[in-house]
Amino acid sequence: MDLAWVPRACALPTAEQPLRLAEFDALFTALRAVERPEPTRLRLVLDASVEAIARDLAARETECCSFFTFAFDRDEHLSVDISIPSAGSGSSTVSPRAPPPRAAHPFTGDTR
């Protein structure tokens, strides 16, 4: 697993980083859209059914990467805005992990 994109400022122990990446990869299976409204803000539009998982993961990520700010908004889908203080502090760390959204069943995430 390539950990080269993990910001140097991340305080998560190296041994735990692959596990955290796997959690994000699992969350991204519920991805419906990715937007970049500003250079320092990424918006993930997720299936609303993963809200508890997304909030838990965001809370734990903030503990080790305090430069990330997560904001949640829920309607038909769950929008998660991930912000950083400046473009030089890791603005592209999440977007390479977030694959393009796939056509998927709205509840199961199945792409068949």
Domain extent listing, the chain? 14-89
Give CA–CA dist 64/61, Å, rounded.
6
Q: Please state the pTM of the whole predicted model.
A: 0.71
Q: Which has the closest alpha carbon to 5: 84, 81, 80, 97? A: 97
Residue 98 confidence (pLDDT): 56
CA distances to 14, 27, 103, 104, 105 from 112, rounded to whole Å, are: 35, 18, 9, 7, 8
Q: CB within 8 A of 77, min separation 6: which ones?
A: 32, 45, 46, 47, 48
Q: Topology of 14-89 in CATH? A: Gyrase A; domain 2 (3.30.1360)
Using one digit for the tens of pLDDT, what is the confidence trace for 31-72?
999 999 998 899 999 999 999 999 999 999 888 888 889 999
Using one digit for the tens of pLDDT, what is the confidence trace for 73-97?
999 999 999 998 875 544 455 555 5
How many CB atoms within 10 Å of residue 1?
A: 8
Residue 84 confidence (pLDDT): 86
Q: Which has the closest alpha carbon to 89: 13, 21, 9? A: 9
